[in-house]
Structure 1
């Protein structure tokens, strides 16, 4: 999946006009123009932030960079009744907290909730910092909370509608499989075939097989095909031998239980049927055999219809 900045809708420059990077550094240093200095403690995280996982090593590296060079690019915030809400730049804000900064350069914008979410999503995609599950959740949230269609999301983000649809489908995977995709132990290509498996436990087993054996995306597709074929054959076999029980069978079971003095189970099948007779000792078996022998005698006092003794 190409996550570069090319073709991503209007892009951040259009959504948050702040000028070039060199202008931003100069503005920060002069503390004037469109950039303000905001107290770090007065900022709260973006409630629409699609990103859930932050690389600790990369964050610590950013802390060291900030301590040495300061903040080279301002974050973006919007004013709230309590202070400020972060729009873009959460890694810089988090790193500034760890670096012990009291205030941070920020561009203050007036934005709606929808604009905030759109900006946060585009920023993360342009930085290639969202995993597929985070991206899928962000697309779905845009559609559910702001009433956007897949076509509208695609147009805003600058991607194809089919890509949006395929990404959102990843959320149909079981939570454990989604976790593998989030952590990168399972790629989108490896995980996509698992969507055709309805049983979530089977999904996870297949995912673990793919990971353990290092299967390619194509190999993963073949594995899933074999699983589906195996499940189909198993279901067909089960259907073929599935008992079709009726009053006649139940009555025959009751008759045999009374005559033999033990549990009897008649199992009708499509091609052949079985009668299961339980016994609990050698003596019990001999008793049942003697009873059956007597039943087969023409002069037997008790007669069970011959078609039941198969």
Structure 2
């Protein structure tokens, strides 16, 4: 059965002699410190107010999880509940104390949030990255712990390719993870930013997004090619010298080739004549 305790009836001093680890105890809310490895970054005010009202009316249904520190406790899982409890004025909160290391705390925080699907897809990617970079896990290790395939983990990590502003925009615009993954093939940051805005403006679904990206990338590739050509052939004298050289080579080979230059008001015309018997 779910745990339920009305904490409004138990607002008193700090319990000095907690029960053994793993049991439910009440702890002074001010002695609980945030988890530095908390994967969830965004908590909406409206959501917290709704949960605070529910806690005030019905009590806390599920205790939060903490671990002991020298100065108090570190939150392992349940930050949303802890914030809501503070919001409704609670001074004591029901906790389950676990004996674990900082590494174990980070893993538990990540796992709890992902199992509850509390994280957006960028937060999931960042949390997985922390497990790999700080705690030495491989993608396979993370996949096993989270109950996901290795390819799923790899695809989530690739989402960190996006800049912070791009991630913020996609979340605010309501993009799905599939929208974001479709944009991964775009390496040009400027083009990517333009696409994000266009996808949002046109309210495109994933299939339409993929088609748009394919079309814009082809257009962009062609523009890059044209700019390169313009840069390479900016000085028309290069062309003229090439034509002159070709005519001289033909003359040296015994071909009676000739080039005539005619300067007009709006253009300069070059005509190369090669006898038919030599062509």
Please report the TM-score for the alignment, with normalisation by the length of structure 1: 0.69
1:108 corresponds, among 73, 97, 104, to 97
Aligned mates of 2:222, 2:125 — CA distance in 1: 34
The change in CA–CA distance for 1:127 and 1:226 in structure 2 (over 3 A counts) is same
Partner of residue 164, structure 2: 175
Q: Which residue of 218, 221, 225 corresponds with 1:236?
A: 225
CA distance in 2, matches of 1:71, 1:243: 71
Change in Cα spacing, 1:95 to 1:184, as seen in structure 2 (3 Å) is same
Aligned to 1:140: 129
Q: Give runs of aligned pairs for residues 168-247 of structure 1, distance below 5 A.
A: 168-183=157-172, 185-243=174-232
Structure 1: 5+ residue stretches without partners: 1-19, 246-265, 274-295, 297-306
The change in CA–CA distance for 1:32 and 1:116 in structure 2 (over 3 A counts) is closer
For residues 237 and 181 of structure 1, do their structure 2 counterparts lie closer, same or farther at Cα, with a shift above 3 Å needed? closer
Distance of 1:184 and 1:208 partners within structure 2: 9
Measured in 2, the distance between the counterparts of 1:208 and 1:231 equals 16
Q: 1:37 aligns with which of 7, 26, 32?
A: 26
Choose which of 74, 88, 103 in structure 1 pairs with 2:63. Answer: 74
Q: Which consecutive residues of structure 2, in runs of 5 or more, have no partner in the other structure?
A: 11-17, 243-261, 263-269, 271-279
Maintained 8 Å contact 1:243/1:267: no
* Residue deviations 1:203-225 (CA, integer Å, cap 9, x gap): 11101101111111121111111
Instruction: Encode CA deviations 1:76-103: one digit per residue, 9 max, x unaligned.
Output: 1001011000001111111111111111
Structure 2 CA distance for partners of 1:26 and 1:216, relative to 1, 3 Å: closer
State the partner residue of 2:35.
46
Residue 148 (structure 2) aligned to one of 140, 144, 159: 159
Partner of 1:57: 46
Counterpart among 25, 29, 32 of residue 4 in structure 2 = 25
Paired residues in the alignment total 236
Query: Would the alpha carbon gap of residues 36 and 195 (structure 1) be closer, same or farther in structure 2, given more than 3 Å must change?
Result: same
Q: Which residue of structure 1 aligns with residue 82 of structure 2?
A: 93
CA-to-aligned-CA distance 1:86-144 (integer Å, 9 cap, x gap): 00111111111111111111111111122211211121122221101111100011000
CA distance in structure 1 between the partners assigned to 2:241 and 2:203 by the alignment: 44
Moved more, 235-244 or 46-55: 235-244
Q: 2:170–2:196: 8 Å Cα contact kept in structure 1?
A: no
d(CA) in 1 for partners of 2:223, 2:32: 58
Return the alpha-carbon distance in structure 2 between the equivalents of residues 232 and 271 of structure 1.
Answer: 29
Q: Which residue of 1 aligns with 2:250?
A: none
Distance 1:161 1:108 in 2: 32
Partner residue, 1:120? 109
Superposition RMSD on alpha carbons, in Å? 2.9
Give the corresponding residue for 1:267.
236
**Conserved? CA contact 1:87–1:116, under 8 Å:** yes
Instruction: Tell me the CA shift for residue 270 of structure 1.
Output: 6.6
Deviations 1:166-208 (A, max 9, x none): 1111110132221133335211111212111112121111011
